[in-house]
């Protein structure tokens, strides 16, 4: 059984460009029909929610966007608008793992009736998260951490410092083992690994398409009608909660010192 978690857990790792392979006959069809980015985005908006992993039209619409997004989002104003629209909570619909794989996979088929994979893009607070939830109101588990956008390359770099269960942060959780093993490339603990990243290649009010910057795998998301941040990270803003945790820890340390 194909592992449906590979792209989800290990999406992207470096800043190398992986252009999607497209057969010559498909490229010729695009030329003859004057196929555009707008056409491709509308196709994905319509077909992706159906989650037909064998849909050829959907597959090559995604390929078209991957090959042409650098032309569509060519200037700074367009790239700024791209990231502004990308902010929000997104459910993973489908993806594929390698540039030359010719079919999609569906995330977690045995659990699709009661669970969804999600990501949260927040370029205002520069914090990125992802996890598994039953609804916008309840998250089973989530990872979160600081993020940074490279507007020129349309890449978002992220790290996972924080671990959450049911919206409550679990302090002291060692994520180093997970972080060194992403994309099945194991790094010695003393070795600096490439930063995790994905490239934003298309977004509308309804859907978002991203490409893993190392593997060339692609994922399609649909916008969640609601804000997942409270369910994923808890009711308090993450910065305030972390600051409060360290304040309490220092207060306890000072109290113990005074008692001694």
Question: Could you tell me the CATH number of the domain that includes residue 72?
Answer: 2.40.128.280
> What pLDDT does residue 137 have?
92
Inside any domain, residue 1: no
What is the tally of structural domains in the chain? 1
Structure tokens at 157: 């770099």
Inside any domain, residue 224: yes
> What pLDDT does residue 239 have?
54
R_g (Cα) of the chain, nearest Å = 20
Inside any domain, residue 107: yes
Helix, strand, or coil (residue 258):
helix
> What pLDDT does residue 228 have?
93
Inside any domain, residue 105: yes
CA torsion through residues 136, 142, 145, 150, sign: negative
> What pLDDT does residue 6 have?
36
Inside any domain, residue 188: yes
How does pLDDT run along the chain (260 residues), one tens digit per residue?
Answer: 344 333 343 333 333 334 556 778 888 888 888 999 999 999 999 999 998 888 888 988 988 998 888 888 888 888 888 999 999 999 999 887 765 556 677 776 667 778 899 999 999 889 999 999 999 999 999 999 889 999 888 999 988 888 899 999 888 776 655 554 454 454 554 556 667 889 999 999 999 999 886 667 889 999 999 899 999 998 655 555 545 444 444 455 455 555 55
Residue showing tokens 């049911």: 166
Q: 61 with 44: CB under 8 angstroms?
A: yes
**Structural domain of 90:** 6-259
């Amino acid at each position: 059984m194909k592992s449906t978690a590979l792209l989800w857990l290990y999406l992207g790792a470096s800043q190398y460009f992986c252009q999607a392979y497209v057969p010559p006959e498909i490229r010729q069809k695009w030329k003859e029909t004057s196929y555009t980015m707008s056409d491709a985005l509308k196709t994905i908006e319509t077909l992706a929610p159906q989650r037909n992993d064998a849909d050829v039209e959907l597959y090559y619409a995604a390929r078209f966007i991957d090959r042409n997004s650098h032309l569509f989002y060519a200037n700074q104003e367009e790239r700024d608008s791209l990231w502004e629209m990308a902010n929000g909570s997104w459910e993973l619909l489908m993806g594929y793992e390698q540039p030359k794989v010719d079919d999609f996979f569906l995330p977690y088929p045995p659990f699709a009736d009661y669970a969804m994979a999600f990501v949260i893009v927040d370029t205002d607070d520069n914090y990125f998260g992802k996890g598994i939830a039953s609804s916008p109101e309840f998250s089973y588990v989530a990872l979160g951490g600081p993020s940074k956008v490279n507007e020129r390359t349309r890449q978002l770099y992220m790290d996972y410092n924080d671990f959450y269960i049911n919206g409550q942060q679990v302090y002291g959780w060692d994520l180093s083992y997970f972080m060194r093993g992403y994309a099945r490339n194991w790094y010695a603990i003393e070795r600096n690994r490439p930063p995790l990243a994905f490239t934003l290649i298309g977004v509308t009010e309804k859907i978002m398409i991203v490409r893993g910057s190392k593997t060339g795998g692609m994922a399609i998301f649909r916008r969640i009608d609601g804000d997942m941040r409270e369910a994923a990270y808890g009711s308090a803003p993450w910065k305030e909660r972390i600051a409060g945790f360290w304040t309490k820890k220092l207060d306890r340390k000072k109290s113990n010192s005074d008692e001694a």
